[in-house]
Chain A
């Protein structure tokens, strides 16, 4: 808890809603222990959107699943660290206590809305089930809550939709249903795992606008997991970049896009084609994303890094996440004054400077 002086009284800054510290996850496999998440520290404040960016296999989804304790155990195993939600360590909760948290305090939406909806139940039944489970209401009232949450996510004719089945709807509509279901119990934290990856750009724009609107109204925190840097730039307050099981860089969205420090982040920014910037050749990051069963020794990015220059430090010592400048964490031996920077858990209670609504969304 931090205190800042104020001339009237002392204001207490809120604690993070979610604070993950040094989380280590292991999977027992036939080939031995695989560690998809290592020493991940992350905090999310109420009303904040924290984006976790990374490519396949970097550990971003495993991190999200471990918050809700949705990873099957065995083979998964928490090797260390803590996940504190509103002050309580979720890793110490019993399965029964977790059931009360899932859906009610923390809700999750997934990339593929078709596989996350049950095809043999109507939309109304599925939303109402969650409502009955978490709120002290009867089925009839739960259906009314379900109808209202469908209306909130912009579904036309919600009363009729309640009686329909998932296959009768388009992808964008199903993702709205998932969001309606997630929001029906008014969670404090929404974990959105690639919520728009399976959708077209115009539908993606609708869904992201919807999430921003709901966040403005309810003050819900969002953990946004994505690989799309454009989605991050426009929606996140704080960004954590993951690569091969670790957070390699974290900062506010403005700082990260203006001054990326880790060679991986820099490479990512350079390699994506941007509209209106035509050059025939793209810069690339050489090599491939490493497989979690065969991570390189030392800095896990050294096999693809352009800053390394044969430095033996990179191939032997894995850099920790250090606060290389105030409010900016990175893990690279080649960042200026890296060895002298403190190892602190990232905490950024930042809200983005410009919202899309400031630029103006034209509702057509």
Chain B
């Protein structure tokens, strides 16, 4: 198969209309916990436990959640940097997990990643020109002076001086390094980029520069993003659609505006309320959650959020005693709604915009 640079790999299955570029179905990534001298598997950390979503071409899906919720693992599993336990990733109608060897490498061109820490994701012994140029050469797009021209134009595109190609990563600031990482990611004209916390390690005044750059690149090149971040304001700013993860599962998904204006899952609500307002006269009611995120090796039964959930307690107060159950959470004994503690709620349509889904027994 001979390819021209920039052309999609499957001309026959070209994405049309509302068809998704990427479909993720029931993705699971479990890591074994090994103990003892024979490394016996004693359990599994369910880092990602049944995640499904679509990413439309040229659009951004934001993935938010706290540390340990599995958002980074989702991004890496999709790109096959971590093997999936089960589930499907359908890219342009083809099952990405079935590809091997050469075909896989060809497909990889179209799916790239930008990492959180620009310092550790650039090889300190390679010049910037080599870092950006290597993928271009490996994928046989250009070599020699043509490659150098491409590197120069890529550097210019991300706002760096083309003369920087001969320098090493340590000579740059954090924001500049992140620009280099972005130039590398777009060097193969991908259609999909996983942005894994691309601005978290940067100074406040630099973050907005990088966000604007990513935004411009998306408009110009029509790249779809999976935008992983823990900063809700950044995600809202950047995403068309936002999915909230808790303990390996998506608990709510809606368009950015809808999710922030009308959160349905109590976890989303408390996450939103926990973000400090940049207003010295705060107006927002603050929901302070008790306890911490439980270990994904041993998640709570039923709805994983029930030990910390304010709604599960509220519902228990209004329900008959037989519909409630006593649990201990963070050292205190509380009564919660029985259904929350025993059955996992499905991700279902809630009142509000079409496509606003949440996994909660209590909210409508």
Interface size on B, residues (CB 8 A): 57
B-side contacts of A288, CB under 8 Å: 173, 175-176, 206
Name the CB-closest residue of B to A53.
B204
Look across to chain B and name the residue whose beta carbon is closest to the beta carbon of A255. Answer: B280
**Smallest CB–CB gap between A338 and chain B, Å?**
23
Given known contacts A205-B286, A205-B288, A285 and B205 CB-to-CB distance under 8 angstroms: yes
Contact with B along A340-364 (1 / 0, CB 8 A): 0000000000001110100111111
Q: Which residue of A lies closest to B239 (CB)?
A: A278
Closest to B256 in A: A278
With A200-B67, A289-B206 in contact, is A231–B270 under 8 Å at CB? no
Q: How far is the CA of A170 from the CA of B68 in the complex (A)?
A: 11
Q: A205 and B274: CB pair below 8 A?
A: yes
Chain B 191-230, CB-CB to A under 8 Å as 1, else 0, gives 0000000000001111111011001000000000000001
Q: Is B271 an interface residue, CB under 8 A from the partner?
A: yes
Contact A275 B331 (CB under 8 A): no
Cβ-based interface call for B236 (8 A): yes
Among residues 171 to 201 in chain A, which have CB atoms less than 8 Å away from a CB atom of chain B? 171-173, 200-201
- For A357, the closest partner residue in chain B by CB is B286
Q: 8 closest pairs, A vs B, by CB? A: A156-B331, A230-B276, A364-B310, A273-B237, A200-B66, A282-B208, A271-B208, A55-B203
Asked if residues A268 and B280 are in contact (CB atoms below 8 Å), the reply is no
- Residues of chain A in range 287-320 having any CB-CB distance to chain B below 8 Å: 288-289, 291, 304
Contact A234 B276 (CB under 8 A): yes
Which of A268, A280, A283, A364: most chain B Cβ within 10 A?
A: A364
- State the Cβ distance, B38 to closest chain A Cβ, in Å: 25
Scan residues 229-268 of chain B and give those whose CB is less than 8 A from a CB of chain A.
Answer: 230, 232-234, 236-238, 256-257, 260-261
Q: Which residue of A lies closest to B286 (CB)?
A: A361
Q: Which of B204, B232, B279, B310 contacts A362 (CB 8 A)?
A: B310
Q: Is B281 an interface residue (CB 8 A)?
A: yes
Most buried by A among B233, B280, B309: B280
Our pick among B205, B278, B331 for the contact of A274 (Cβ within 8 Å) is: B278
- Give the residues in chain A near B212, CB-CB below 8 Å: 281-282, 284
Chain A nearest CB: distance from B218 CB in Å?
Answer: 10
A227 within 8 A of B: yes
A55 to B207, CA, bound (A): 11
Q: B272 interface residue, CB < 8 Å from A?
A: yes
> Nearest Cβ distance between residue B178 and chain A, in whole angstroms?
11
| Pair A233/B237 contact, Cβ less than 8 Å | no
Contact assessment for B205 and A284 in the assembled complex, using a CB-CB cutoff below 8 Å: yes
Known A205-B288, A278-B237, A364-B308; judge A271-B205 contact (CB<8 A): yes
A269 interfacial by beta-carbon distance below 8 Å: yes
A157 within 8 A of partner (CB): yes
Indicate if the CB atoms of A362 and B286 lie closer than 8 Å.
Answer: yes
Chain B residue nearest to A359 (CB atoms) is B282
B4 on the interface (CB 8 Å rule)? no
Q: Given contacts A267-B205, A282-B237, A361-B288, could you give 6 more A-B pairs where the C-beta distance is less than 8 Å? A: A273-B208, A278-B236, A284-B212, A285-B209, A362-B287, A364-B309
Q: Is A253 an interface residue (CB 8 A)?
A: yes
- Interface bin, chain A: 35 or more
Residues of B within 8 A of A21 (CB): none
CB interface residues, B 27-58, toward A, < 8 Å:
none
Task: Scan residues 309-343 of chain B and give those whose CB is less than 8 A from a CB of chain A.
Answer: 309-310, 313, 330-332
A52 → B minimal CB distance (Å): 14
Contacts of A284 in B (CB 8 A): 205, 208-209, 212
Contacts of A269 in B (CB 8 A): 278
A234 to B276, CA, bound (A): 7
CA A356 to CA B203, docked complex, whole Å: 27
A-contact 0/1 string along B275-307, CB 8 Å cutoff: 111111111111111101100000000000000
Known contacts A233-B282, A288-B176; decide if A273 and B211 are in contact (CB<8 Å). yes
Assess the B211–A282 pair: CB atoms within 8 A. Answer: yes
How distant is B346 from chain A, measured CB to nearest CB, in Å? 23
Residues of B within 8 A of A271 (CB): 204-205, 207-208
Known: A172-B292, A273-B211. A228 touches B276 (CB 8 A): yes
Instruction: Let me know if B173 and A275 touch, CB within 8 A.
Output: no
Q: Is A254 an interface residue (CB 8 A)?
A: yes
Set of chain B residues within 8 Å of A208, measured between Cβ atoms: 276
Taking the closest CB of chain B, its distance from the CB of A53, in whole angstroms, is 9
Find out whether the CB atom of A272 lies under 8 angstroms from the CB atom of B278: yes
Among A173, A206, A280, the residue within 8 A (CB) of B289 is A206
**Cα distance A364–B290 in the bound complex, in angstroms:** 6
The reply to whether B271 and A170 contact each other, CB–CB distance below 8 Å, is: no
Cβ of B296 to closest chain A Cβ, rounded Å: 13
Q: Chain A residues near B284: list those with CB within 8 A.
A: 359
